[in-house]
Structure 1
Amino acid sequence: MSVKSDRWIRRMAVEHGMIEPFSPTQVRERTDENG
């Protein structure tokens, strides 16, 4: 199984209840890894 994007994880958690309880605030925001 491949690594899923944050967007996919959020969508599955909200739409399908795959993660209970789900806290979207614990998901890190995107960062620029080049500096």
Structure 2
Amino acid sequence: MSLRPDALLSHPSGPDFQWTVDRLIWLLKNEPLGC
């Protein structure tokens, strides 16, 4: 499953959106950038 910006914008609320936000935050915190 691929996440697209337009797909996220089309669903600005709901459990799926919240899960996506939490997932992105988790990735930003745990994945080293620029490697």
Q: TM-score, normalised by structure 2?
A: 0.36
- Which structure has greater helix proportion? 2
Larger RCO, structures 1/2 (Cα 8 Å, 6+ apart): 1
User: If the length of structure 1 is used for normalisation, what is the TM-score?
Assistant: 0.36
